[in-house]
Structure 1
Amino acid sequence: MRFYTDTPPGHDLTYDDVFLMPNRSAVASRFDVDLATSDGTGATIPVVVANMTAVAGRRMAETMARRGGLVVLPQDVDTAALRDIVAWVKSRHPVWDTPLVLTPNDAVADALNLLPKRAHGAVVIVDEDERPVGVVDEAACAGVDRFTRLSDVADPDVLTMPLTAAPREVFHQLHGRNVHIALGVDEEGRLAGVLTEVSALRAELYRPALDDKGRLRVAAAIGVNGDVSAKTTALLDAEVDILVVDTAHGHQEKMITALKAVRAAVDAAGRGRPATPSAEPAPALDRQSSPGAGQDGGPSLAGSGVTVVAGNVVTAEGTRDLVEAGADVVKVGVGPGAMCTTRMMTGVGRPQFSAVLECARAARELGARVWADGGVRHPRDVALALAAGASSVMVGSWFAGTYESPGDLLRDEQGHPYKESFGMASKRAVTARTRADSAFDRARKALFEEGISTSRMRLNPAAPSVEDLLDAICSGVRSACTYTGATTLEEFHDKAVVGVQSASGFAEGAPLPTGW
């Protein structure tokens, strides 16, 4: 990346301060762009869900990995529970979504409780042999007594297809029909998955992030306190693919000590990977015979090596120290998150674009990569972070208001659906994290909380799923690459030309409000 004037400004910049210049391009279509990352994580899109309790859970992990991204499970999750989550995610099908299942004798109330858990909007009714006999959606439950049996409201007209059916075939079977969901069944006719018309389309456009056994990938966070080596060993035993050593201030001795312990445990288990990431895109596979293969080729299998990520820092010095201590990837960002009050409380932090730019250069000199963590509010911000040299961009609160986030779906005074989000250094998060401490220690730690304890994140009725947001992000990044003349993210970083703009320049690029 270079600046349009060839001279970097004398002050730090955030995403709103910069823009991408269009270049002469030979890229004919946005589908010619490969969004696979170069950091060795096996991700096929450059999006990572941050390890926030209100955002990262099993449903989010399954959905993101199926579309090629990653989810970092929070460090506060009990090890036994985390092992169960990882096993569950890795048992999911790489193409077919997990169905919501009830029996004919269950009540409409049971279906209404389950429907908000999945974006596909349907509960499948199965018999005693787990074979599908009907489908129930929200419309079928409208105006019906909540104690009505599902056998009385289920639509018996079901479309079943073998799990080996290509997503394109599923799309064609659904297109133009009243049935909006296809049910994947195994060789015995038992329910194993579901696909809607749009999810079948997405299965042709995205490649899942798979491990060397063809299972969905998942990451997990580790704190810098306690027995870090034991926690690392437990996560390795649980078959976590990416370990994220996480603390708000990553450039400190406690982090370096913890990171060295993680690296030692990974290497002792024989799970390390080559230090220099490969920038080569995944080889193309036959889409008709490879589950999850998409427009860009086949699934990316990054091997059995575990990637070690550490952060957060905002300087080249901090980046170099973490890489030398054992990090393959460094997380960059202090204070830009939507739920974070660090900058207002302490004055500490740095505008995110400049932080990513400097840290990415330092990491690449050592054969490592960075993740841009925080400050992302629009698809353009993701593109700009990648242009600055990040291999992936971490997203938190933006994804909290989706069907896939862990929280319960609530409704405000006007009936609008929302979910609650909160910062991981807030009173709410600290209280949960210190539950086992003494009353005195909990009270003492409560004096140093930073972050918002509750925020309502509304579900957008037009885009209620995290997959809808991924479509917007990936579409924006693909288009940015075509404007730049790049077909890979590494080429995008090399060719990107960035200019600096005023606040009015940023406002000029924003669409007018609806109804203006």
Structure 2
Amino acid sequence: MRDVSVLTHAPAGIHPSEGRDAAGALHGGSTTVQRQETSSRFAGEGLTFDDVLLVPRYSPVHPKDTSVASLLTRRIALPIPFVAAAMDTVTESHMAITMAREGGIGIIHKNMAAHHQAEEVDRVKRSESGMIAEPVTVAPGATLREAIRLTERSGITGLPVVEDGGRLVGILTHRDLQFESDLERQVREVMTHEGLITAPVGTSLGEAERILHQHRIEKLPIVDAHGELRGLITVKDIRQRRQFPNACKDEQGRLRVGAAIGAAPRDVERARGLVEAGVDVLVVDTAHGHSQGVLDAVARIREQFPDVQLIAGNVATREGAAALVERGVDAVKVGIGPGSICTTRVVTGVGVPQLTAVLDAVEGAAGQVPVIADGGIKYSGDVVKALAAGAHAVMMGSMLAGTEESPGQAFLLEGRRFKTVR
């Protein structure tokens, strides 16, 4: 662990204004309360990001050779250690796609219907891929209106046309649709079917790019020996692989995405829909992760979905982190009330200064799983301090809430554009 140097000190305890006699008793009016040992009443000194600076030391590493790659969970690597928070004014599919392209990851919030959250996950997973293994398709007997609705819902511009359970008979692109005014016509009437360009299963991306360029087409269906559709390679996916070489992707070349769930028993069904949609990591997202309800939720999710990566939190102590690790989580999320808009500490009087919480959680995790510092990031230097304290990644909310990619409502105030965050 790298050293941190204390710049200023947080108060070590409470200093009452009442008088104190020689025996150490505190006097408040007519009531006398015997003084207890500070160590038994207070956890001790706590430090937050503003309380420390890192000591500069000799470095043989040139900036251009620096890597900030880290881990999100036991099995998920992050090219950059940034996570978009599961807040309804921060992370939906647009934010998650952008974060993953840049090397981070977004956690889709849970303040929506379960099926809607699963659709958001699916939108991220389908946004780009080396090869789309299960492309969205349309039947030749469907109307153009139905096809357009399908493209809008899926965020795509073209549809392979299949019949008899998967046999490719054509492709419907935006060029086929752009001049059509009668949306009740059937897809088979306007789709491209003569001279349809396809490629066999096993075609490499390099060969696919050559075929796409040779025939000046944007989509290349992959078919087997029986003419059944097995995948789809697009110019967009190839272009984005070049534009975002450090994107956070799964083994199939799809962008990674996470989703938040609660700790109630009913959240198992929400989790099931998310797993079916292809979510990479589930996050049991609560204000108090060191509770029996959360520990039970982790056990339920782990039993139902043993292969899914699972993060749980939030905790702020070494005991809380150790308890979650013992239940089988793949990463621990740390932070009780450090967020700029979080009222937990004010309303409940509960919390631990974030830097101390991270240090303690790292000790509790004992190197078995990554630790994610959630909240309190106001400046880029706070990220550095969190990583120096042992965190593998930082989760940010308000830092991202004002971006174009966030779903927060935009408004003008005195000629300046703002976005809501909560």
CA distance in 2, matches of 1:201, 1:13: 43
* Residue among 217, 222, 244 paired with 1:188: 217
Q: 1:12 aligns with which of 30, 42, 46?
A: 46
Q: How many angstroms does 1:215 deviate by?
A: 0.2
Please give the residue correspondences for 1:151-190 in structure 2 after superposition, counting only pairs within 5 Å: 187-189=216-218
CA contact (8 A) 2:378 2:399 kept: yes
Alpha-carbon distance in 2 for matches of 1:265, 1:86: 19
Q: Percent identity?
A: 39
In the alignment, which residue of structure 2 is the partner of 1:466?
Answer: none
Gaps spanning 5+ residues in structure 1: where?
A: 96-125, 132-163, 166-183, 272-305, 423-516
Match of 1:254 in 2: 293
Q: Which amino acid is 1:420 matched to?
A: T
Residue 20 of structure 1, CA deviation: 1.0
Provide closer, same or farther for how the CA distance between residues 37 and 185 of structure 1 changes in structure 2, counting only shifts above 3 A: farther
Question: 2:303 aligns to what SS in structure 1?
Answer: helix
Q: Pick from 79, 84, 91: which aligns with 2:126?
A: 91
- Mapped partners of 1:234, 1:185: distance in 2: 41
Secondary structure class of the residue paired with 1:128: helix
Summarize deviations over 1:458-504 as a string: whole Å, max 9, x none: xxxxxxxxxxxxxxxxxxxxxxxxxxxxxxxxxxxxxxxxxxxxxxx
The verdict on how the C-alpha distance between 1:200 and 1:72 changes in structure 2, with shifts beyond 3 A counting, is closer
**Within the alignment, does 1:409 sit opposite 2:410 as a pair?**
yes
Which residue in the other structure is 1:128 paired with?
175
1:34 shift after superposition: 4.1
Tell me the equivalent position of 2:25: none
CA contact (8 A) 1:333 1:372 kept: yes
Aligned residue number for residue 419 of structure 2: 419
CA RMSD of aligned residues (A): 3.0
User: Which deviates further from its counterpart, 221-230 or 185-194?
Assistant: 185-194
**383-392 vs 80-89, greater mean Cα deviation:** 80-89
Give how far 1:3 is off: 3.8
The runs of 4+ residues in structure 1 deviating greater than 6 Å are: 199-202
Deviations 1:88-126 (A, max 9, x none): 11111369xxxxxxxxxxxxxxxxxxxxxxxxxxxxxx9
Structure 1 residue 360 and structure 2 residue 362: aligned?
yes
**1:94/1:208 contact within 8 Å kept:** no
1:401 positional shift: 0.5
2 CA distance for matches of 1:48 and 1:12? 25
Inter-CA distance 316–193: structure 2 relative to 1 (3 Å threshold): same
Q: 1:76 aligns with which of 93, 111, 120?
A: 111
The separation in 2 between residues aligned to 1:230 and 1:200, in whole angstroms, is: 34
Q: Provide TM-score, normalisation by structure 2.
A: 0.64
> Does the aligned pair in 2 maintain the 1:410–1:418 contact within 8 Å?
yes
**Does the residue aligned with 2:382 lie in a helix, a strand or coil?**
helix
- Counterpart of 1:203 in structure 2 is 244
Mapped partners of 2:111, 2:323: distance in 1:
26
Using the TM superposition, give the Cα deviation of residue 36 of structure 1 relative to its aligned residue in structure 2, in angstroms: 3.3
The 3 A distance-change label for structure 1 pair 417 and 245 is: same
Contact 1:43 1:69 in 2 (8 A): yes
Q: Kindly report which structure 2 residues correspond to 1:50-449, keeping only aligned pairs within 5 A, or say none.
A: 50-93=85-128, 128-129=175-176, 187-189=216-218, 193=236, 203=244, 207-267=246-306, 271=307, 306-365=308-367, 367-412=368-413, 414-422=414-422
Residues 200 and 318 (structure 1), Cα distance of their counterparts in 2 relative to 1, 3 Å cut? closer
TM-score (norm 1): 0.53
Give distance in 1, aligned partners of 2:68 and 2:393.
Answer: 14
Between the two proteins, the alignment pairs up a number of residues equal to 298
1:62 aligned partner, one-letter code: I
SS of the residue aligned with 1:13?
A: coil
**Equivalent residue in structure 2 for 1:48, among 77, 83, 89:** 83
Provide structure 2 residue ranges, at least 5 long, that are not aligned to the other structure: 10-43, 131-172, 179-204, 207-212, 220-233
CA shift in 2, pair 1:220/1:189, >3 Å: closer
> How far apart are residue 262 of structure 1 and its match?
0.7
Greater relative contact order (Cα 8 A, min sep 6): structure 1 or 2? 1
Contact 1:185 1:192 in 2 (8 A): no
1:275-328 per-residue CA deviation (whole Å, 9 max, x = no partner) reads: xxxxxxxxxxxxxxxxxxxxxxxxxxxxxxx32100011000111111111211
Structure 1 residues 353-405: Cα deviation after superposition (integer angstroms, max 9, x where no partner): 0100110122134x112100000001111111111111110001111101000
What secondary structure sits across from 1:60 in the alignment?
helix
Partner AA of 1:51 in structure 2: A
1:235 maps to amino acid: L
